[in-house]
Structure formats: C-alpha cells, structure tokens
Structure 1
C-alpha cells in the first residue's frame, strides 16, 4: 500500500506541474504588441498599454466626481426623476471605480488619490470635469434650481466620459478596459438623451 501511495503522489505532482507549466505558457504567449512606455504586461485577457492606464486613471477621477454630484441629489433635488437618475449613476459608476482601481493595482500602477470633496482643479483638464466653482454652485443649489443645474452639468460630464471611452476603444489593448469603455458609451449616451429630454431639449 505504501508503494502504491507513493506512485499516486508522484502522479498527482507530475500532473500539477504539467498544468502549471501550461498555464505559464498560456499567460506568456501574449506580450501585448501594442504596449508602450514599458507598462505592458501579459494577462489571460491580453496585454495592457499606456492608453489603458491613462483611461483607468482619468476615468476613476471622472467617476468619483459624478458619484459626488449624484450624492447631492438626495438632499438637494426636488424632482423624483432626478433623484432616481442620480441613484442609478451612483450605482453604476461606484463599482466601476473599484474595478479600474483593481486593474491599476494589478499593473503595478498607482491608483489616483481620491479628490472628491476636496480640490477638483487638478482634474479639470479631463473632459467634462467640473471646476471648484461649478461644484460649489451645485452644492449650494436646491429645489428646481438644483435639478436644472445638476442635469446640465451631468450632460456635460457624461459627454466628456463618452469622449474618453471612445479614445480607449480606439487605442486601448486590455480587453476588459475596452469592454468597459463600450459599456460607458452605451449607458451614458442613453442617459444624455434622457437628461436632455428632462431639460426640455430634443
């Protein structure tokens, strides 16, 4: 029985080693040909490149501001539609922040510092981002005035996100990132139409 156990143990170890070798070979087969700036790594879903890193960092900050704006609606908005939309935006974008942060960590990149509730000026170069003055006005608004201001600002914010996502789709190589970009384009384009209707625009 002892000899048989040894044989079984050796067989299991051999199979385990073979599986590990195959896994490593598969992971190493895609070096991310479009990777640049030394940031490319191979993963089971393909290598990432500088565009993926830039998209993730910028969109994290972009989403954080959208979540911050949406969070104001509960106490400041008068329209049930605006409150519902804000809840939807927060529910969609908060998990995406965690997802993109996870990508950056796995790539050995630094996750941007959370600037929400602080100085927004550092991020205003990102398309659609609101300035400190914009956020200050929104925080002080209430009722129907808040509703109109929120919708107007969020349309601009979403348009910026769509532009960023289109760039990622064109230039990125990391499949989950380009898939998220496609989802952003679809979801936020639909919300832009919805908000324009709520503002009385065609």
Structure 2
C-alpha cells in the first residue's frame, strides 16, 4: 500500500520560526548525526534554537516509534538494520536536546503542544500552508503523519511493511532537513546549529539510500 507524501511539517516549521521570534532569547553507514558535535550548549541562544530543539525532540520520537515496529514486521534485513540505527542515533540526540532546553530554562515541549504531534490548536495564529492532521492521539507520532498512517504501518508485514516504512521515513527525513536548515540560518547556539548541520548532511545521504532500497523492492 503506497502512502501519498505529506510534507505538512515544512509549513509548520517555517511558520513556527516566525511565531517564536518573540520568545526567549546520515548515510546508512553513519546515522548518528552527532559526529564532531559539542554536547554543551553555549551561553547565548535564541528563540530559533528553542523551537528547533522542542520540535526535533517530537520528530525524533516519531522516528523511534516507527523503528520499534521493524523487528517484528519487516522482511528486509536492511530495513531492520536501518531501524536499529535510527533508534541508536536519535535517542541520545533527544536526551541531548532536552538537556539544552533545561540549561536554557526552557520547557521541553512547546506550550500547548504536549508530547504528541502538533495540531491546528497547538499552532493557532500561524500562517500554515497546509492543514495539520487533527488526530494527535499517538504519543510522539511524527508531525505530518496521521494516526491512520501509523495504524496502516502497524497492520502491515513483510514487503508491504518495508515499502511503507521507507516511504514514511523518507518523508520524515525531509521534514527533519527542513527544520535543520531553519536552524542553520537562524540559530545562535553553536551546538544546536552544529546538530542542524549534521542532520542536513547525514539525512540527505540517508534519503538517497532509502530511495535505492525502495526502488529495489519494486
């Protein structure tokens, strides 16, 4: 079953940058996205750094939620390996970003957002180019991915699961790159900007790998 791409996150992220300006100031072989990155934030940070960390935490949680399905459902060893690498890379980054937010005196989640996907109410006042999904019942689910998408993925097995997983993870990476590029251009904290750099570089390569895997599945 093929799932139509949803690049909802891009519009949310671009809008979120504008909203929060008033707030307080990997290829398959390397998926960590953390190589050479300092884990200690600098004293100076801005609203973009906060937005980036808060939203990327939710985004990473969505990837881990998907990856947890692979061991029991995937047919491809490559897909299973990919899922394990995603979990190994992104869980430490989640903890790192949480520590940044704590050191900055900022909440781990955006006000009103909780730990699930952003909803239209969460993003009220933003000029979103695409409507957000209204069902945010799945904790940590990916922005731009509906509950129906996750239910479909949970119901799939074998090659059908592999195809859906890769399709959704490609979209997920594209969303992460959009977020990371905004951090590159507008962030102030050196460690956070470096994480943005690494995400752009590593996940661009990973998208190419996943597209090749998807093509091989037919």
TM-score tier by shorter-chain length is 0.7 to 0.9
Name 2:24's counterpart in structure 1: 39
Provide the secondary structure at the position in 2 that maps to 1:110.
Answer: coil
Q: How large is the RMSD of aligned CA atoms in angstroms?
A: 2.4
**1:92 matches 2:89:** yes
2:41 and 2:203 map into 1 onto residues whose CA distance is 28
Cα deviation 1:137-165 (Å, max 9, x = unaligned): 11111111000000000000100000110
The counterpart of 2:195, out of the listed 180, 184, 189, is: 180
More helix by share: 1
RCO higher in 1 or 2 (8 Å CA, sep ≥ 6)? 2
The residue that corresponds to 2:116 in the other structure is 115
**Alpha-carbon separation, structure 2, partners of 1:197 and 1:122:** 28
- 1:114 CA drift (Å): 3.5
**What TM-score does the superposition give when structure 2 sets the normalisation length?**
0.68
1:85-125 per-residue CA deviation (whole Å, 9 max, x = no partner) reads: 11111111110000011111111111124439x7149976x
Measure how far apart 1:200 and its partner are: 1.0
TM-score by length of 1: 0.73
Contact 2:22 2:47 in 1 (8 A): yes
Aligned length: 161
- For residue 186 of structure 2, what is the aligned residue in structure 1? 171
TM-aligned CA distance change 1:146 to 1:172, over 3 Å: same
- Asked if the contact 2:115/2:139 (under 8 Å) is kept, the reply is no
